Amino acid sequence: MVRSVISILDLSVEEINKLLDRADDIIANPAKYSEVCRGKKLATLFFEPSTRTRLSFEAAMYELGGHVLGFSDAGSSSATKGESVADTTKMVSCYADIIAMRHPKEGAPLVSSMHSSIPVINAGDGGHNHPTQTLTDLLTIRRKKGRLNNFTIGFCGDLKFGRTVHSLIQALSRYAGIKIVLISPDELKLPSYVKKDVLQKQGIEYVQTTDLEEVLPELDVLYMTRVQKERFLSEEEYIRLRDSYILTRAKLVKNAKEDLIVLHPLPRVNEISTDVDDDPRACYFEQALCGKYVRMSLIMELLGLNAD
Ligand code: CP
């Protein structure tokens, strides 16, 4: 059976560290990697909107010397005629060497991987998981902090539907000395399955609060998130909750450590004021760039390719 990455837990800590090491090497020596995927094709099957994930996957494959095919809108695929994810995958396996799939339904990339003769990468499934965003986040933290252990990270915003939060918590729970502060309105708390199956099972120290400003001074990393409009059943409820937290430069200056790093998987709506962008603690645009390099590294790994 071919190797796919559906959850960040599909990768061991050793494998993650190796992927990040190679991403660092790609950043330092891009020319070394420019022909590694010559003749290989990546299929980007995006049944749900994306800017960063799809384009960084595509840029990653181009920078490795490979080709890209696919669709960015389920409406332009035969899914609209009723084709199943399984059948779409079987077809695409005939045309490409590796698949990156985003889907609004939790578990769709897993189903795809079960019917695929080529590796499938989960590029985000509903409110569930987003493992390549997690690799992006880990690379950014490691490059900024020099380590992936012994720090306090605050997750702020929509912790219920925020798949990037669920995946990053899964990943960080395997590193030592991580303390987690969960900052959200009561309605958008981290799902209990993540608390039970990850935080409590692994004995991770965590607290829950609704007050960002109170906990800001303790944090080494602040992971802001957007309230996920597309997952709400009620527009009224979304409007009531969407501006629960707005990080401003004034709040950072007053309350945050000098060496805090502020991350956000993006897209941003209102939760980080644009006046934060010029603060040296704002790392979210560099984070998006890291996404391209970790995806290059992961594509190489799953295709069994080396630059040496
Ligand atoms: N971070 C992220 O998944 O962004 P996109 O939705 O633009 O891909």
Measured from the CB, is residue 51 less than 6 Å from ligand 1?
A: yes
pLDDT digits (tens, 9 = 90+) for 57-103: 999 999 999 999 999 999 999 999 999 999 999 999 999 999 999 99
pLDDT higher than threshold 90 for residue 233? no
Residues 6+ away with beta carbon under 8 Å from 64: 33, 34, 35, 36, 37, 40, 296, 299, 300
pLDDT score recorded for residue 21: 98
Which pLDDT belongs to residue 241? Answer: 85
Query: Among the listed ranges 22-31, 34-43, 230-239, which one has the minimum average pLDDT value?
Result: 230-239
Atom of ligand 1 lying closest to residue 265 CA? 1
Q: Answer yes or no: are the C-beta atoms of 235 and 241 closer than 8 Å.
A: no
- 274 carries an active-site annotation: no
Quick one: pLDDT at residue 230?
81
Is residue 100 within 8 Å of residue 283, measured between CB atoms? no
CA distances from 29 to 22, 62, 307, 308 (A): 10, 16, 10, 12
Q: Are 204 and 178 in contact (CB under 8 A)?
A: yes
Ligand 1 binding pocket includes 129 (Cβ within 6 Å): no
Q: List pLDDT tens digits, range 122-135.
A: 999 998 999 999 99
In the prediction, which pLDDT does 109 show? Answer: 98
Q: Which residues contact 302 (CB under 8 A, 6 or more apart)?
A: 3, 4, 5, 98, 119, 121
Confidence tier at 15 by pLDDT (50, 70, 90): very high
Q: What is the pLDDT of residues 257-300, one digit of tens each?
A: 999 999 999 999 999 999 999 999 999 999 999 999 999 999 99
Query: Which of the four pLDDT bands, split at 50, 70 and 90, describes residue 238?
Result: confident
User: Model confidence over 152-211: pLDDT tens digits?
Assistant: 999 999 999 989 999 999 999 999 999 999 999 999 999 999 999 999 999 999 999 999
pTM of the model: 0.95
| 40, 41, 44, 53: the active-site residue | 53
Residue 243, pLDDT score: 84
Q: How far apart are CA 26 and CA 32, in angstroms?
A: 8
User: What average pLDDT does this structure show over 227-253?
Assistant: 90
Task: Please tell me if the CB atom of residue 167 comes closer than 6 angstroms to any atom of ligand 1.
Answer: no
CA angle, 42 as apex, 37 and 43 as ends, to 5°?
170
Among the ranges given (26-30, 43-47, 234-238), the one the predictor scored with the smallest mean pLDDT: 234-238
Question: For atom 1 of ligand 1, which residue has the closest CA?
Answer: 265
Is the pLDDT at 228 greater than 90? The verdict is no
Which residue among 44, 48, 53 is best mutated to probe the pocket of ligand 1, counting the most ligand atoms within 8 A of its Cβ? 53
- Residue corresponding to tokens 């189903």: 111
* Ligand 1 near 122 CB (within 6 A): no
Closest residue by Cα to residue 76 from 47, 106, 50? 47
**Ligand 1 near 116 CB (within 6 A):** no
- Look at the chain and count its residues: 308
pLDDT at 291: 98
State residue 229's pLDDT score: 84
SS (H, E, C) the chain: CCCCECCHHHCCHHHHHHHHHHHHHHHHCHHHHCCCCCCCEEEEEECCCCCHHHHHHHHHHHHCCCEEEEECCHHHCHHHHCCCHHHHHHHHHHHCCEEEEEECCCCHHHHHHHCCCCCEEEEEECCCECHHHHHHHHHHHHHHHCCCCCEEEEEECCCCCCHHHHHHHHHHCCCCCEEEEEECCHHHCCCHHHHHHHHHCCCCEEEEECCHHHHHHHCCEEEECCCCHHHCCCHHHHHHHCCCCCECHHHHHHHCCCCCEEECCCCCCCCECHHHCCCCCECHHHHHHHHHHHHHHHHHHHHCCCCC
Is 103 annotated as catalytic?
no
**Residue 68 burial (CB count, 10 A):** 17
In this model, does residue 1 exceed pLDDT 80? no
Percentage of residues of the chain with pLDDT beyond 90? 92
pLDDT computed for residue 274 by the predictor: 98
Is the pLDDT reported for residue 31 higher than 90? yes
